[in-house]
Amino acid sequence: MITFEQARVIVQDQLSAEWPAEADFTTAPWGYESDDHYLVVCGPYARIFGARNSADLEWEEPVLDAPLICVVKETGVVEELEHGQSVFTPVGAQNPDEE
Protein backbone atom coordinates (compact mmCIF):
# COMPACT_ATOMS: atom_id res chain seq x y z
CA MET A 1 0.00 0.00 0.00
CA ILE A 2 1.41 3.39 -0.97
CA THR A 3 1.06 6.68 0.90
CA PHE A 4 -0.50 9.89 -0.39
CA GLU A 5 2.97 11.46 -0.66
CA GLN A 6 4.15 8.54 -2.79
CA ALA A 7 1.06 8.96 -4.98
CA ARG A 8 1.97 12.62 -5.53
CA VAL A 9 5.49 11.65 -6.63
CA ILE A 10 4.14 8.98 -8.99
CA VAL A 11 1.80 11.48 -10.65
CA GLN A 12 4.55 14.11 -10.91
CA ASP A 13 6.94 11.61 -12.49
CA GLN A 14 4.42 10.15 -14.94
CA LEU A 15 2.46 13.21 -16.06
CA SER A 16 4.81 16.19 -15.93
CA ALA A 17 6.39 15.33 -19.30
CA GLU A 18 2.96 15.74 -20.95
CA TRP A 19 3.04 19.49 -20.17
CA PRO A 20 5.35 22.16 -21.59
CA ALA A 21 7.96 23.46 -19.15
CA GLU A 22 6.30 26.89 -18.96
CA ALA A 23 3.15 25.28 -17.50
CA ASP A 24 5.22 24.27 -14.43
CA PHE A 25 3.24 21.06 -13.79
CA THR A 26 2.84 20.37 -10.07
CA THR A 27 0.90 18.32 -7.56
CA ALA A 28 -0.88 19.95 -4.65
CA PRO A 29 0.03 18.95 -1.08
CA TRP A 30 -3.67 18.21 -0.53
CA GLY A 31 -5.92 15.71 -2.22
CA TYR A 32 -8.60 13.16 -1.53
CA GLU A 33 -8.86 9.44 -0.93
CA SER A 34 -11.33 6.61 -1.25
CA ASP A 35 -10.89 3.05 -0.05
CA ASP A 36 -8.99 2.17 -3.23
CA HIS A 37 -7.56 5.42 -4.66
CA TYR A 38 -5.80 8.67 -3.93
CA LEU A 39 -7.12 11.56 -5.99
CA VAL A 40 -4.13 13.81 -6.72
CA VAL A 41 -4.85 17.46 -7.49
CA CYS A 42 -2.41 18.30 -10.27
CA GLY A 43 -1.81 20.43 -13.32
CA PRO A 44 -0.13 23.69 -14.22
CA TYR A 45 1.07 25.65 -11.17
CA ALA A 46 -1.29 28.55 -11.93
CA ARG A 47 -4.30 26.23 -12.04
CA ILE A 48 -3.47 24.82 -8.59
CA PHE A 49 -2.15 27.86 -6.71
CA GLY A 50 -3.06 30.88 -8.88
CA ALA A 51 -1.01 32.95 -11.30
CA ARG A 52 2.35 34.27 -10.10
CA ASN A 53 2.86 36.52 -13.12
CA SER A 54 1.33 37.41 -16.47
CA ALA A 55 2.88 34.37 -18.19
CA ASP A 56 0.96 32.08 -15.80
CA LEU A 57 -2.39 33.47 -16.97
CA GLU A 58 -2.31 31.14 -19.98
CA TRP A 59 -2.47 28.14 -17.62
CA GLU A 60 -4.84 29.45 -14.94
CA GLU A 61 -8.23 28.40 -16.38
CA PRO A 62 -9.58 25.14 -14.95
CA VAL A 63 -10.70 22.32 -17.23
CA LEU A 64 -14.10 21.53 -15.77
CA ASP A 65 -14.74 18.22 -17.50
CA ALA A 66 -11.23 16.82 -17.02
CA PRO A 67 -10.98 13.30 -15.62
CA LEU A 68 -9.84 12.85 -12.03
CA ILE A 69 -6.20 11.81 -11.76
CA CYS A 70 -6.08 8.96 -9.26
CA VAL A 71 -3.50 6.48 -8.03
CA VAL A 72 -4.47 2.96 -6.97
CA LYS A 73 -3.38 2.57 -3.34
CA GLU A 74 -2.50 -1.10 -3.68
CA THR A 75 -0.40 -0.90 -6.88
CA GLY A 76 0.63 2.73 -7.48
CA VAL A 77 -0.93 2.68 -10.97
CA VAL A 78 -2.23 6.03 -12.26
CA GLU A 79 -5.84 5.91 -13.45
CA GLU A 80 -8.26 8.50 -14.78
CA LEU A 81 -11.70 8.33 -13.18
CA GLU A 82 -14.81 10.17 -14.21
CA HIS A 83 -16.59 12.40 -11.72
CA GLY A 84 -18.97 10.41 -9.53
CA GLN A 85 -17.18 7.07 -9.94
CA SER A 86 -16.00 7.06 -6.33
CA VAL A 87 -16.54 8.92 -3.05
CA PHE A 88 -13.47 10.77 -1.77
CA THR A 89 -12.56 12.38 1.55
CA PRO A 90 -9.78 14.95 2.18
CA VAL A 91 -6.19 13.83 2.71
CA GLY A 92 -2.81 15.58 2.89
CA ALA A 93 -1.96 19.11 3.95
CA GLN A 94 -5.60 20.21 4.33
CA ASN A 95 -6.24 17.47 6.87
CA PRO A 96 -4.93 18.44 10.35
CA ASP A 97 -4.76 14.78 11.37
CA GLU A 98 -2.04 14.25 8.73
CA GLU A 99 0.29 16.94 10.11
pLDDT tens digits in sequence order for the chain, 99 residues long? 999 999 999 999 999 999 999 999 999 999 999 999 999 999 999 999 989 999 888 888 877 767 889 999 999 999 998 877 777 888 887 654 444
Q: Write down the pLDDT at residue 87.
A: 76
- Cα–Cα distance measured from residue 41 to residue 85, given in angstroms and rounded to the nearest whole number: 16
Q: List helix spans (H) across 2-80.
A: 4-15, 45-49
Q: Write down the pLDDT at residue 94.
A: 64
Helix (H) or strand (E) holding 38: strand 37-44
pTM across the whole model: 0.83
Domain spans of the chain, in order of start: 4-98
Reference 12, options 41, 49, 53; nearest CA is 41
- Cα–Cα distance measured from residue 73 to residue 96, given in angstroms and rounded to the nearest whole number: 21
Q: Write down the pLDDT at residue 99.
A: 44
